[in-house]
Amino acid sequence: MGTIIIVGITVGLIYGLVAIGYSLIWQTMGLVHFAQGDLLMIGGFLVLTFINAGFSSPLLVCILVFLAMGLIGAFIEQVAYRPIPREKHVTRIICTLGVGLILRNLAVLLWGTSSRGLPENFFPGAALALGEVSIQPVYYWTFIIGCTLVLGLVLFLYRTKYGVAMRLTAYNPALAELMGVNSKLFQSAAFMLAIGITGVAGMLISPIAFVHYNMGLSFGVKGFTAAIIGGLNSLPGSLVGGIVLGLSEVFFGKYLSGYVDVLAFTVMILVLIFKPRGLLGKVEAEKI
């Protein structure tokens, strides 16, 4: 049971990071960003590129991937999403699918069709013993990096004035403009932040699931599911949703391995029936 919880939480943390990306982009741009999974894949491949360039410290690579993905995010937002007016919802969503397609094919051109994993011992350290459970370095590093990222995000959003400005832009862009906040700038910044986080998630999944150009689909769907379970409107909800999904996958995988996906999606449907806004979603009322 202990192993189920530890592994479930770790994998769930990764789904949670992707879900946070969805939630952040949804809240600030009103867009469901279906290219999240493919960006996770790009993040994973970028890690390999940095390692091959000679960087071996996981923390340094993590920071580099975060920054690089942020820049990629800025480019994508400017070129693909900014030109489309916010009201054209369907067009924007189709655009995200297009971005995903381009990223997948770009990955084949840049990195080929084979799967790659990280070099052995990329995450240094020995296995940690916790009772009768032995935790491999990759799991506790993922936990540490994931938690740090989430903590950093929370501190940024709630304790810095830029974070407040970003939250205000998410809440009401027009109001933000009135308060002197450049809403377009903060929307871009939020997008870059989301993509940076997704890239780091790619780095965390690559030692255990291996990166290949098609891996984005399953993570994109799982991240979205996690965001829905937790509440698309809630960042902590995304994290909770991710962990719920991770735990379900491992738990159902142990006892009914052929039905994992069916059961995981049933969990999502049940949550939606009883808590349509997600487990931690806020009900929004608009005063007319």
Binding site for other proteins (CB under 8 A): 3-4, 7-8, 11, 108, 113-117, 119-120, 134, 136, 138-139, 205, 207-210, 212, 214-215, 217-219, 246, 249-255, 257-258, 260-261
Q: How far is Cα 91 from Cα 31, in angstroms, rounded to an integer? A: 10
Closer residue to other proteins (CB): 156 or 210: 210
Q: For residues 169 and 248, which CB has a smaller minimum distance to other proteins in the complex? A: 248
192: left (phi over 0), alpha (psi -120 to 50) or beta: alpha
| Minimum distance, C-beta of residue 167 to other proteins, in the bound complex (Å) | 33
Compare residues 186 and 213 and give the one whose CB is closer to other proteins: 213
**Least CB distance from residue 120 to other proteins, whole Å?**
6
Task: Kindly state the smallest distance separating residue 39's Cβ from other proteins, in Å.
Answer: 16
- Judged by beta carbon, residue 113 or residue 159, the one nearer other proteins is 113
Taking the complex as a whole, the smallest distance from the CB of residue 33 to other proteins amounts, in Å, to 20
Tell me whether residue 176 or residue 244 sits nearer to other proteins (CB atom). 244
Of 287, 241, 285, which Cα lies nearest the Cα of 264? Answer: 241
* CB of residue 222 to other proteins, shortest distance in Å: 9
